[in-house]
Amino acid sequence: MKATTRRTTSVRTGRKPAVLKRAAPYHHGSLHAAMLQAAERILERDGIQGLTLRAAAREAGVSHAAPKNHFGDLRGLLSELAAVGFERFGTAMLSKLRDGDPSTARMDAIGHGYVAFARAHPGLFLLMFRSERLDFSRPALRAASDAAFSVLADTVAERRQESIAATLTLPQAAHIAAAWSLVHGFSMLLLDGRLKRLIARLPPGGDETTLLTAMLKAGGRRGARRPPDSKTQRRAGKDR
């Protein structure tokens, strides 16, 4: 049946008939991607408390059933959105690296990329580390989060002139956790506005970036693997 239009005529005023057009059907090149984009807009604008399946459908301009058909439930939608976040997160950490940089500079670049992502996408960043809202059994989320973690872990291992195996040694795990705690803790304090008073007491020109740089340098000195000194080498020789 062909679509028709209805015309209404005002007898009293003699105005021209108004044409009431039917709403055009909604089309998406990729509904899955469009839903994730809509969910991210809500997340950054209204926070996680404002992100529901209905809100995401409304934001994307699709039926209320569309999110459920693609993601199952809200946890599925949040998990797929977090997977996208971790993919971008890994890219952000690598974005400031330059070929030929020494390991110290590479560690600093990764740290600055970590914090820069948190500042640029606070809602998404907080979601990515809300494990109780996410389903890490979903392949996309697990792969993306593992890849992002490897960026940090491999950079710490490179700084210590070590290689990373499936099973970490305790010192390796401790140094990875220390580096992670530094940049993640800094990011959270920054997002919560808890660093403002501290930064206000810095010398002229000091800001979040200079403070983070100083912290990364101090952390790098602690995390570096020092070669044994001559005294240690002589002691090791006597013990053989």
Residue ranges per domain, the chain? 28-72, 74-225
Taking only the tens of pLDDT, the chain with its 240 residues reads 444 444 444 444 444 444 434 333 344 558 899 999 999 999 999 999 999 999 999 999 999 888 898 999 999 999 999 999 999 999 999 998 988 889 889 999 999 999 999 999 999 999 999 989 999 999 999 999 999 999 999 999 998 888 888 889 999 999 999 999 999 999 999 999 999 999 999 999 999 999 999 999 887 665 555 544 544 444 544 544
Quote the pTM value.
0.79
Residue 64 to residue 8: CA distance in whole angstroms = 32
Fold for the domain defined by 74-225: Tetracycline Repressor; domain 2 (1.10.357)
Residue whose C-alpha is closest to residue 177's, from 222, 229, 208: 222
User: What does the pLDDT read at residue 222?
Assistant: 58
Residue count (the chain) = 240
φ, ψ at 25 (rounded to 5°): -65, 150
User: What does the pLDDT read at residue 223?
Assistant: 54
Q: CA of 108: how far to CAs of 101, 113, 154, in Å?
A: 10, 9, 13
Residue whose C-alpha is closest to residue 111's, from 188, 216, 221, 219: 216
User: What does the pLDDT read at residue 6?
Assistant: 45
Residue whose C-alpha is closest to residue 186's, from 238, 114, 129: 114
User: What does the pLDDT read at residue 7?
Assistant: 46
In this structure, CATH architecture of domain 28-72: Orthogonal Bundle (1.10)
Q: CA of 205: how far to CAs of 60, 149, 191, 199, in Å?
A: 43, 33, 21, 10
Decide: residue 96, CB within 10 A, 0-12 exposed, 13-18 middle, 19+ buried.
Answer: middle
